[in-house]
Amino acid sequence: MTRVMFVCLGNICRSPMAEIIFKDMVEKAGRSDEFFVASSATSDENVWNGTGAEVYPPAKKILAQHGLSTGGKRAVQLRADDYRKYDLFICMDRYNVRGVNRIFGGDKDGKIRMLMDYTDRPGDVSDPWYSGDFKTAYRDIYEGCEGLLKSIE
Ligand code: 4NP
């Protein structure tokens, strides 16, 4: 069982997209029993009194266009005790890597990665919060998830 936590800044755009895309990919590959998949935020920006925001509507929309539902996903913030509960923390960009390291106080077991490092064009996932371009973000995330799944075969 590989436990995968996708991480971005707000957990309302990129990391929920990654969670939902990866879960679907794993299911279609008949490998659901090999994975536990979740997503979270480095910031508490979208969590109020313990209740997280829903996935941002344009992210919901692009997922729906690919036949995927967010299934009631709400934002949660990454917690220090998640470190022992997951095998991989897959970050959407380099700032998330910094944020995750801050929450965990380091990465003693080498569990922190960048999603696009699983593709032939490493770097940051295109950030739709600033660009408004959810199509490019979807493509980046899909490619990253394909590479991630292959890497665990
Ligand atoms: P995400 O996008 O990290 O992909 O969920 C963002 C969501 C919210 C904010 C920034 C990025 N924000 O500043 O509230």
Which tens digits make up the pLDDT trace of 9-32?
999 999 999 999 999 999 999 999
**pLDDT at residue number 153:** 83
Tell me which residue has its CA closest to atom 6 in ligand 1. Answer: 10
Distance from C-alpha of 39 to C-alpha of 92, rounded to nearest angstrom: 11
Concerning whether 127 is annotated as a catalytic residue, the answer is yes
**pLDDT at residue number 111:** 98
**Residue whose entry in the numeric block shows the structure tokens 């917690």:** 79
Residue whose C-alpha is closest to residue 16's, from 106, 153, 146, 137: 137
**Residue whose entry in the numeric block shows the structure tokens 């991630």:** 148
**pLDDT at residue number 9:** 98
Compute the average pLDDT of residues 106-122.
98
What SS3 state is found at 98?
Answer: helix
What fold characterizes domain 2-152?
A: Rossmann fold (3.40.50)
Other C-beta atoms lying within 10 Å of the C-beta of residue 92: 29
Distance from C-alpha of 75 to C-alpha of 147, rounded to nearest angstrom: 25
At 91, the pLDDT band (50, 70, 90 cuts) reads: very high
Concerning whether 121 is annotated as a catalytic residue, the answer is no
**pLDDT at residue number 2:** 98
CA of 28 to the centre of ligand 1 (A): 29
Ligand 1 binding pocket includes 129 (Cβ within 6 Å): yes
What SS3 state is found at 50?
Answer: coil
Cα 145 to its chain centre, rounded Å, is: 9
Q: What are the structure tokens assigned to 99, written together?
A: 């944020």
Compute the average pLDDT of residues 49-71.
97
Q: Which residues contact 110 (CB under 8 A, 6 or more apart)?
A: none
